[in-house]
A and B are shown apart, each in its own frame.
Chain A
Amino acid sequence: MKILDKIMLIDRRWIYLAIGLAVIIPAIWSFEVPVTVSPEVKRIYDFVDQLEQNDYIFVAVDYDPSSLAELNPMTEAIINQAFAKNLKVVIVTLAQFGPGMVEEITSRLAANHQKIRGVDYCFLGYRPYPAITILAMGVDFRVPFPADYYGTPLDSLPVMQGIKNFGDVKGVIDLTAGNTADFWLIYGNGRYGFPLAIGITGVMSADYYQYLQSGQLFGIIPGVKGAAEYEDLVGFPGRGMEQMAYQVIAHSVIILFIIMSNVAYFATRTKKDKMGGGAL
């Protein structure tokens, strides 16, 4: 019983150590994790896949570098797919510290696919106040962004010739770790009616399945697992699939701890629970 009491009152630092090891070990001995693709991810892939050469898609990279570990893999997978299919890509960021990160990703992927900035894709840059910016872009991209991130007037960019607003793009994919998805739903899809999909952190995904059901979203990429599924679909394995190894080990450790905690709890049930915590 003494051991079980100790398990019940384990110092949290042992838990932190176990989690630490759970993420360090796959870094040293990495392994491939088979991925089962979920329907909501496949819908986004299919949507982009059925577009034709020179069709336009709009990608909103609305997260700060603090979320890049979870969202960069899906951003790169989508842009890789778009460039591989020779689609025209218009990119914006509504996150304050997004521009530097987006600039790095687009430049690198464009170089990989021999795409030319201003001809094959355009990075509009950053504007604050997502609602106002989205509403303005629905009128004309040139209203909030008279020039792109690099200061070149949009009218002089070949890729922006002949497109004015969301009516000229086939769909919008928003990648976000905050509440920007709500702005795209209300002011974008709700106001202008364009097809909208989102890529979000895992913890946010439970919030947005209702929009899938209502048809306001046509797809969701939830967290790193979703990113890994998308990379598997597009055939450009990247950080998403690499991180699945960490996910598997870390989740297994957490599950083991939960089972351990419940076993100890039931075994010591007659004793008064002094741990407290939670409202249940």
Chain B
Amino acid sequence: MKREIPLLIVGITGFAMLIQYFIPTDWSEFIFTYSQDWVIVIGILALPLGIWSLIKANVLKLKVPDERFYSAVLLAGFLAMLVTGTKRESLEAGSTFMTIFTNVLIPIQATIFSLLAFFIASAAYRAFRARSVLATILLVTALIIMFRFIPLGPISTANLSAVSWILSVPNMAAKRAIMMGIGLGATATAIKIILGIERTYMGHD
């Protein structure tokens, strides 16, 4: 029964939402909105699980010499934001919470994102070699796309047309094909879940 009841819930709910999609009435819309609200509620209810996991893992790591420093920084930051964020005025400009957010979190996030610039260079250096026909096509296409950033006078105009063609025709053809496959795969997976064929997410007892 421990497996059958969840399977039944998944099957009935999935089938009901499938039927709901084709019914345009007010009560159908209400069911959709109501179920979406429940998704939000479940997500919020699950948040303490995540927070407990985070704190537990890092408190345990305080005992490990190599991990101690990073875990200590994490727990200190967590406590700082928790304490400063509980006040009603914490979201106002100038509050301690917003000061830490603006001057620490935002620059750090931008810094991590900026690593992409360096990693793109090293990945391109390693991967864009004409080892085969396909690799050569990749290389030439990448070079054409990259040249659009470099002002080369009349060559830029011609290059822009080539870029536009590449993005609008072969790129779109490939993307549409991949997306059709993804659409079919996603539909198949959803049907398998509703029919109870796909059960890995449920675990075992």
Chain A directly contacts chain B within the complex, with at least one CB pair under 8 Å: yes
Other than the known A38-B160, A67-B113, what 10 A-B pairs have Cβ atoms closer than 8 Å?
A: A36-B151, A69-B110, A69-B113, A97-B101, A209-B167, A209-B171, A210-B175, A254-B120, A261-B125, A262-B128
Candidates B91, B126, B157; contact of A36 at CB < 8 Å: B157
Across the A-B interface, the 7 shortest Cβ-Cβ residue pairs: A66-B109, A65-B106, A278-B127, A280-B135, A12-B122, A251-B149, A210-B172
Judged by a CB distance under 8 angstroms, whether B9 is at the interface is no
Judged by a CB distance under 8 angstroms, whether B56 is at the interface is no
Indicate with 1 or 0, residue by residue over A4-31, a CB within 8 angstroms of chain B CB atoms. 0000001010011011100100000000
Q: Determine if B121 and A132 form an interchain contact, defined as CB atoms under 8 angstroms apart.
A: no
Most buried by B among A10, A67, A252, A280: A280
Most buried by A among B106, B110, B128: B128
* Given known A36-B160, A206-B175, contact A262–B139 (CB-CB < 8 A): yes
* Given known A18-B121, A36-B157, A100-B93, contact A265–B129 (CB-CB < 8 A): yes
Docked complex Cα distance between A129 and B40 (Å): 8
Write out the residue numbers on chain B whose beta carbons fall within 8 Å of the beta carbon of A258.
124-125, 128, 139, 142-143
Within the complex, the shortest CB–CB distance from A235 to chain B, in Å, comes to 20
Q: Determine if B131 and A280 form an interchain contact, defined as CB atoms under 8 angstroms apart.
A: yes
Docked complex Cα distance between A212 and B164 (Å): 12
Write out the residue numbers on chain A whose beta carbons fall within 8 Å of the beta carbon of B109.
64-66
Within the complex, the shortest CB–CB distance from B85 to chain A, in Å, comes to 13
Number of interface residues of A (CB under 8 A): 57
Candidates B106, B112, B121; contact of A16 at CB < 8 Å: B121
* Given known A129-B36, A261-B128, contact A248–B149 (CB-CB < 8 A): yes
A-B contact count (CB 8 A): 131
Write out the residue numbers on chain A whose beta carbons fall within 8 Å of the beta carbon of B118.
15-16, 19-20
Write out the residue numbers on chain A whose beta carbons fall within 8 Å of the beta carbon of B157.
36
Q: Determine if B151 and A34 form an interchain contact, defined as CB atoms under 8 angstroms apart.
A: yes
Write out the residue numbers on chain B whose beta carbons fall within 8 Å of the beta carbon of A250.
117
Candidates A100, A206, A244, A257; contact of B98 at CB < 8 Å: A100
Q: Determine if B113 and A66 form an interchain contact, defined as CB atoms under 8 angstroms apart.
A: yes
* Given known A36-B156, A69-B110, A250-B117, contact A210–B176 (CB-CB < 8 A): yes
Judged by a CB distance under 8 angstroms, whether B130 is at the interface is yes
Judged by a CB distance under 8 angstroms, whether B68 is at the interface is no
Write out the residue numbers on chain B whose beta carbons fall within 8 Å of the beta carbon of A103.
93
Number of interface residues of B (CB under 8 A): 53
Docked complex Cα distance between A275 and B126 (Å): 8
* Given known A248-B150, A265-B129, contact A213–B121 (CB-CB < 8 A): no
Docked complex Cα distance between A261 and B131 (Å): 11
Judged by a CB distance under 8 angstroms, whether B132 is at the interface is yes
Q: Determine if B150 and A252 form an interchain contact, defined as CB atoms under 8 angstroms apart.
A: yes
Docked complex Cα distance between A131 and B35 (Å): 13
Indicate with 1 or 0, residue by residue over B164-178, a CB within 8 angstroms of chain A CB atoms. 100110011001100
18 residue pairs from A and B, CB less than 8 Å apart:
A15-B122, A19-B117, A34-B151, A36-B160, A39-B164, A65-B105, A66-B112, A66-B113, A100-B93, A132-B37, A205-B167, A251-B146, A251-B150, A258-B139, A258-B143, A262-B128, A273-B131, A278-B126
* Given known A210-B176, A247-B149, contact A254–B121 (CB-CB < 8 A): yes
Docked complex Cα distance between A20 and B118 (Å): 8
Docked complex Cα distance between A18 and B124 (Å): 14
Q: Determine if A280 and B132 form an interchain contact, defined as CB atoms under 8 angstroms apart.
A: yes
Docked complex Cα distance between A108 and B93 (Å): 14
